[in-house]
Amino acid sequence: MTDDRKDDRLAAYRSSIDNIDAALIHMLAERFKITQAVGEYKAVAGLPPADPDREARQIARLRKLAADARLDEELAEKFLRFIIEEVIRHHERIKKAQA
């Protein structure tokens, strides 16, 4: 295969990756808009910022989805744990602001 054809193939792969990355960012933004509303609700309702039982269920659910999609379950869990930690941090900030 010539270098030009390799470059075209690589460019096409990278273009697809760029599109997927953009979709991930938009989905993450939407998720955080909803979790912001959850944090505000929790603050008003006097609920704690974290819900360990829900988090455990979500992690188990995501690991199953990852396995079904043939994605590394540990990678999926690390990704969700990072998001959960950020959400809890935001909820704590909201609770503090409401106090």
pLDDT digits (tens, 9 = 90+) for 31-84: 999 999 999 999 999 999 999 999 999 999 999 999 999 999 999 999 999 999
Instruction: State how many domains the chain has.
Output: 1
| pLDDT exceeds cutoff 60 at 1 | no
Q: Which domain holds residue 15?
A: 3-98
Rounded distance between C-alpha atoms, residue 81 and residue 74, angstroms: 10
- Is residue 15 classed as helix, strand or coil in its secondary structure? helix
pTM for the whole thing? 0.84
CATH number for the domain harbouring residue 16: 1.20.59.10
Q: Provide the sign of the torsion angle of the four alpha carbons 57, 59, 62, 68, taken in this order.
A: negative
In which residue are the tokens 């995501």 written?
Answer: 62
